[in-house]
Amino acid sequence: MGFMEMLSEKSHDNKYKATAVLCICAILAVVTSIWDSHGGNFFSGLLSRGFIAATIGGLADWFAVTAIFKKPLGIGWRTDILRRNRPRIMGALRDFIAGDLLSRQNIMRTLDKEDFSAMLITYLDERGGREKAWAIVDVLLSKTVHGVDADKLMGRLEKPLRDALHKIDLAPIVKKGLDGINCDDSRKIIIQALSPLVRPMIMDDDVQSIIMAHIKNARESYEGENSMRQAMFDYLDLSDEKLLEIADEHINEWLINLENGEGEIYGKIDGAIHEQIASMEENTAIYGALEKWKNERIDNLDMRALARERIQDIIAHDYASWRNEARRIFDAYIDDFKNSDERRLKFDRWIKSFLDRLVDEHHDIIPRTIDEYLNKMSDDEIIEFAQSKVDNDLQIIRINGSIVGALVGMALYVLIFAIEGVPL
């Protein structure tokens, strides 16, 4: 059995009780009046006046209650109140609900008492909200990564990207890089890095053979037909092999000085590098060649293929790590929110400000909704609805009217009897 049916049944029960009380009072009023008119006494007069007054009070309340919903005894003057005054009553009901009960001030006053950040934390920690929220983020992340159409994306971005790359001026970038290289510390690092690479090259058998050949040619050119020079080389035991050994020792010494950033050779090489880099900085042809190379590379660059390859690589290899990192950031953000009074207060204020704007923008929906709902109901449906809500209490009023009428009638009878000493 539904709630409305229960109310209706209870209302009918009280209506039967009130009607029964009224009928009993009327019957007893007739009986006691006959008794009192045929030699009754004080007691019969008291009961007669009481039941008559109870009948009058019950009838009056029955008429009043019935007049709210219909025309009692067909009397139309000032009766059937709900039907006759429907527009005014419905308007007052609408204004009361929208302007008082559910006014914007009352709604926001109630909302201001709530702690929305605490509600959110309770939902996240105690009702599985964290996992539910992550599930949504996870789906969005997956669909974003796996749903990317590289060709379509680059179709939109290719021209702007190419234009942006063409606009990049390499000259100041290269010049700044050369300036960084052409400082003392950078040149020293370059020389020290190259020195260990030169030693194995010098000691290579092929290089040594080339040096030996140069030594032989130089010696033969120096000696010529001069026997004294030949005798001097022999006296000093300066064979070609010995001269190569001496040359290797000097080269090794130079390399050691280069590695230590010392010596005359180091200074000459350092100065040569400095001059070379300085000349490169002033050589506009280099910048022009770089610009030409850059533009050719950009024009020939297959951006769609690169984007497709990169996206596929992300999906195949990097997505799992991205997902784990996203989860870590997600959890850290929630934990930080829970432990930050400032963020919680900011969130609470934002929610209330949002709700305030929402209520302010849409509060007029309340009276419109009430009007739409009420206008869909016929007069009979409204009367039935109102009667189902209040008829139970109204029937109790009928019973109380009979009781109060009886008490007042008997009280008046006793009062007059006491004053006059004779019954009415």
Question: DSSP letters of 191-237?
Answer: HHHHHHHHHHHHTSHHHHHHHHHHHHHHHHHHHTT-HHHHHHHHHTT
Question: Which tens digits make up the pLDDT trace of 371-382?
Answer: 777 777 777 777
Question: Which tens digits make up the pLDDT trace of 381-390?
Answer: 777 777 777 7
Q: Are residues 184 and 281 in the same domain?
A: yes
Q: Which of 275, 299, 323 is the last residue of a domain?
A: 299
Q: Are residues 192 and 293 in the same domain?
A: yes
| The predicted structure's pLDDT at residue 346 | 92
**Residue 316, burial from CB neighbour count under 10 angstroms (0-12, 13-18, 19+):** exposed
DSSP letter (8 states) at residue 38:
T
Residue in this structure with the two tokens 């991205």, named with its chain if needed: 322
For residue 17, give its domain range: 3-84+377-420
pLDDT above 70 as % of the chain: 90
In a domain, 61, yes or no: yes
In a domain, 354, yes or no: no
Q: How confident is the model at residue 227 (pLDDT cuts 50, 70, 90)?
A: low
Q: Are residues 397 and 284 in the same domain?
A: no
pTM beyond 0.75? no
In a domain, 190, yes or no: yes
State both tokens at 84: 């006759």
In a domain, 202, yes or no: yes
In a domain, 121, yes or no: no
| The predicted structure's pLDDT at residue 3 | 36
| The predicted structure's pLDDT at residue 6 | 44
Residue 424 scores a pLDDT above 50: no
Interacting residues of 103 by C-beta distance below 8 A, sequence separation 6+: none
In a domain, 19, yes or no: yes
Q: Are residues 177 and 78 in the same domain?
A: no
Q: Which of 299, 321, 348 is the last residue of a domain?
A: 299
In a domain, 306, yes or no: no
Interacting residues of 255 by C-beta distance below 8 A, sequence separation 6+: 195, 198, 199, 202
Q: Which of 280, 299, 318 is the last residue of a domain?
A: 299
CB 333 within 8 A of CB 343: no
What's the structural domain count of the chain? 2
Question: Which tens digits make up the pLDDT trace of 314-360?
Answer: 666 777 787 888 899 999 999 999 899 999 999 999 998 988 888 88
Among residues 10, 22, 3, which one has the least CA distance to residue 66?
A: 22
- What own/partner pairs with CB < 8 Å and gap ≥ 24 does 332-336 have? 334/124, 334/130
For 419, other C-beta atoms within 10 Å of its C-beta total 8
Among residues 74, 52, 53, which one has the least CA distance to residue 63?
A: 74
In a domain, 238, yes or no: yes
